[in-house]
Structure 1
């Protein structure tokens, strides 16, 4: 008996591929996803670069302001805070010990070189300079670089300031009456100096020809002397032409101290210099020049503007430009607390009456910032009269970055501070006139 046959249905295998349209749609979707990732990456990178530049800008601005304010607070400072701290100048060549000097004897409107001892004149205390596109008022110190757009030149339109002060950590203790020997008439015959353990050796500081300053609170004197035996200074006689008169014995021995005037009396000048920031871009650097030697403080500073707070005879504080301090705002401000034997129109007398200084810095990010919108490079600088951020090339600006040779497409921010001078003394706002009598 036979087995019936079974009918097994056949399985059809259907092989199908993606159509061209499906492939194109998939590619478009993939590109959109990839583009989204790229856009996020670019935006994140741009944000990171912007934050990095802002961080650098903030750090540079804070450091520049801290360094400036540190020196400004000590401006016009001598050994003691009393009125007697302003020294009597016995040396005939005192100006030769100063640096960055633009107020010399006999150069109008300054008086001729005195023939008798005189108080350290106020026009040597400090001096500011307001600069425009082509020149400065007053004229800049000749030893500084000329203004221009090339690396090494001074930044166009940036202000400058020269200030002076005595380094309080320098000098040698005079050791009291035993170290200062007098002669007939109350003049100093010689000074014997034995440096303490924390004081420098005389040979490490003093150089032949340097002037000395002997100071305590009632009296300070600048004079010429010669060193003998390695530890004894003998004041030069007036007959040598180095002193106008012999230095006097101190009226008291209240911690007298001897200073090398050439080394210990600091002349500090701040200005901006063009430097290469890389990639063909330049920026400004804040420079600090001390006793003729310049060093870079920080980069990224494009503008420096200063206003000087002066207390007039009525006790009111007025903020003036440098030229106004020089000429007493056209003669409208009288020199405060003039001694009876001073000249009423003492040119530059207000520089010793400066009680505070208003500082403005414009700092950039040091790199081109072109990824974000144009408004990212807008900034406000109060000296330009800005009420809100404006474009770098705004017509209202007193000075545009491009005029200074700087790239406009940078982040910029203003830093400002009002600095009080610690040495300011209302009871001695003015040193005596160069020809004043000596008490």
Structure 2
């Protein structure tokens, strides 16, 4: 019997050793992802550990991490078989920050917020919207389209968490999976890139920047990178070296889970292509843009406050938090959190050409620029927004453009139909059929 037990355990031990040896170079990233994810989902979204580990952290090999929550300290520590412990800590106003290895937590910065309360219905205020029935909306078909975006009981394929449909500034459909509701903050992942673009749009409206300016960083002054324009960075068309691969140790995983200052990694990369002719999707570029925004201010506090005072709080996205790195830079590539309703407000700002209830937040020309296809992107990308000019979604209008995020986060803006459609989940195209999802909703609105 002892031999059976002995030889029964041995293969398991061998497998565990093999897992550790294979993943050891990645353990910092695995435990960093795990700690950051659990921290934000716990203290920003108010969710329990079981739902986080079975949902957000059920990615190979992240699910090997053991996570411990310290509610008194508001921190999370993660290890894999006791190795490579990483820690993320929650700070009011900036969310969860992943503490770099061998550094002590010394975070003292915090943006000022101005939560504007108005006696207006959603989306321009905090009161319930007035019931409005549109004669051209087939609500039975709309309900079917929304229900069809979610898994049936017992399924785990579409993995949709939230769907919100706004037509002519009115919510006409809204649904959440169990455990989520209209007050749950949701991570936009790369939808945050569009927020960063909008902040630059505000600076452009104020006359502080222009898209064709060059000589963006002192570190580039003595080489060809000095000729890179702000437009090149916004359109991901700079020609700078970058590898965006979340399945291995790459530029993006090192940046998000190892770097103290995420604005610097793209700054140090060489040119490997010709600006304006080398489209390459890069989260590093967006965080470099966050660094560029920081350079427009003399004081770090002014940089922290600007994103909220001039954009986020101005349009009532009161639930939104854009998390920072350890050095206090907004992680404009990836870490924006807000409710589905507040993400929809951002879409409405663009639907109305930068105008928010009578106040022009962005120039209309900036919104048009945002929707202009990047050269060499096949009509798929603008200025930190995705486009349908090239017909990625054949059953949707060509004027559709969107904020897109990892695992299928979307804010679709469709000017010709006066629609904003929001979807959050854990499965992306083609597993979650985006074209079908859009076409079913569009078919219900004539």
| TM-score normalised by structure 1 residue count | 0.23
**Higher CA-based Rg:** 1
Structure with larger RCO (C-alpha < 8 A, sep 6+) = 1
- Please, what TM-score do these two structures have when normalized by structure 2? 0.23
Question: Which structure is higher in helix share?
Answer: 2
By percentage of residues, which structure has more strand? 1
